Amino acid sequence: MKNLIRIIGLFVFVTIYLTTMSACVNSKNKQPNIIVIFVDDIGYNDLSCYGAKDPAIQTPNIDRMAEEGVRFTDWQSASSVCAPSRASLLTGRYPNRSGLPTVPNANAPFGDEYQQNIGLQQSELTIPEILKPLGYSTAMYGKSHLGWDSKFYPLRHGFDEYYGSLGNFPIGGTNPVYEGDEVVEDSVRFEDIHHKLTERTIGFMKKSHDKDKPFFIYLAHYLAHGPWQPNKQFATEAEWEIYQNQPIKGHLRDGGDEIYPALVRELDWHVGEVLKAIKDLGIDENTLVFFISDNGPWLPAGSAWPLRGSKYNTFEGGHRVPSIARWPGVIPPGQVSDAVCSTMDIFPTIVHLSGSKLPNDRKIDGVDITQVLKGKRSKTEHDILYYYNGLTLEALREGNWKLHLPRIPESKVFWTRTSHIKDGSGLGGFQKLDKPLLFDLGDEIGEQTDLADKYPEVVQRLLSHAQKARKELGDWNINGKDQKRLLNYTGNINNPTRVIGVNPHLKE
């Protein structure tokens, strides 16, 4: 009898041990859940963990995310405006290559033909389209900005679900909100949409978890883009009073910069709710979360200090953005990485981590940064990064060297036609630049000291790289060999009245 009891006990122990080990192996081998929180117009100095100078900006949840993962100090967006940066995130390709180098914008001076043909084309391969064959559930919530025509809607790009408004919200007005392809709410206000996005995100996580399916969620926040209308829940009394008495001037609000911290605090709260839900579901160690800004701040709200420039231009203030990644047990906590990374890197990194393969029928410009996430310096960092503004190649970077290229007003895309700061740091950057400017970002990231005369050999080397880029990706007056054109639009998206080939620095 004693022997029988020992045998039964041993059998039970072995069974429990094997079951536990099997569960551990399955957990380690399980495809990760992935969430990309893509926020709007958050500048380099707009979070506490990035040293925000404005004391009203408090971001404890985002700060904790950085403490539990890796915070990047040299993360580069592929564009300084919304739509192209989103296309590059989803495809891993430069905007000129992916066919969305500019923005769907009712204010663009190009007419209905432009609006019908500008968008992310279905011939592009996106992250959800890579993941769906592997069994992933995929959802997008928030700002699409991939095109106004139905052929560009999120469900055309591999998402199982979409809920949100296609573009930005008007000041004092409302937007229609879509469920899939259909409008389900005719008029939703900016300050009311964000809770809905968070609820949808958490609901989708729970639903996928219940079905034991890995998920990919692209949470594209409208915060903290204009119209800078705060939710009263997150505003101080002083901020709320400023907001209530703001005069509207065109598409801007006076005092938008004064109430901006309330929008950042609200964003932080929503990020905290998503992270809390991940922990409550018990999927913390199998969920990778990225937090990335699409581009620099839309001045006068927000700050890119100590960088020069902002949204709409190719200085660091327009392209160098906050970026954080968190994955407990995989990404070591408390990292601060100065690796040069790009939003285009999200695509190949997710491909690698999910067990998929990169396509062999197209060029992917991003690189796999898995080793960077894990705290190991990657050997596949970008040799060259190109800074396009619309169709125009305005700058490029090699290591710490950054070269701003000559330009003329005729080469400027429509959103860069004005600059409210005389030195060219404003919204449009330089309207005219007669010679190249060279900066050493390793010495100063503020791009103030021109070293072009001191290092002419560096200038010439980078100019030769620029010529290669023009031949491949195009420029304002050159069609590139691998530049995707806008569907059936035959006009010029930089300047409908431009004169071709008048800038000697841009000729082939």
Which residues are marked as active site? 82, 145
- What does the alpha-carbon distance between residue 208 and residue 216 come to, in Å, rounded to a whole number? 10
Residue pair 126/157 in contact (Cβ under 8 Å)? The answer is yes
Q: Tell me the one-letter amino acid at 487.
A: L
Where do the DSSP E strands lie in 232-339?
248-249, 252-253, 287-293, 320-326, 335-337
β-pairing verdict for 437-440 and 70-76:
unpaired
The residues, ordered by sequence, that sit 6+ positions from 272 with a Cβ below 8 Å of its Cβ are 60, 61
Residue pair 324/65 in contact (Cβ under 8 Å)? The answer is yes
- Record the tokens describing residue 54, joined without a space: 């404005």
Residue 180's CB is within 10 A of a number of other CB atoms, namely 14
Q: Please state whether the peptide bond connecting residue 55 to the residue before it is cis, i.e. omega within 30 degrees of 0.
A: no
Q: Which residues pair with 248 in a beta bridge?
A: 253
- What does the alpha-carbon distance between residue 60 and residue 268 come to, in Å, rounded to a whole number? 7
- What does the alpha-carbon distance between residue 396 and residue 307 come to, in Å, rounded to a whole number? 17
Q: Which of 256, 404, 398, 400 is nearest to 318 (CA)?
A: 404
- Record the tokens describing residue 472, joined without a space: 């491949």
- Outline where 93-228 has alpha helix (H): 95-98, 112-117, 127-131, 190-210
Q: Which of 152, 107, 120, 94 is nearest to 392 (CA)?
A: 94
- Record the tokens describing residue 23, joined without a space: 């569960």
Q: Which of 185, 142, 184, 188 is nearest to 164 (CA)?
A: 142
Residue pair 95/82 in contact (Cβ under 8 Å)? The answer is no
Q: Which of 396, 387, 445, 340 is nearest to 95 (CA)?
A: 387
- What does the alpha-carbon distance between residue 429 and residue 74 come to, in Å, rounded to a whole number? 21
- What does the alpha-carbon distance between residue 186 and residue 205 come to, in Å, rounded to a whole number? 27
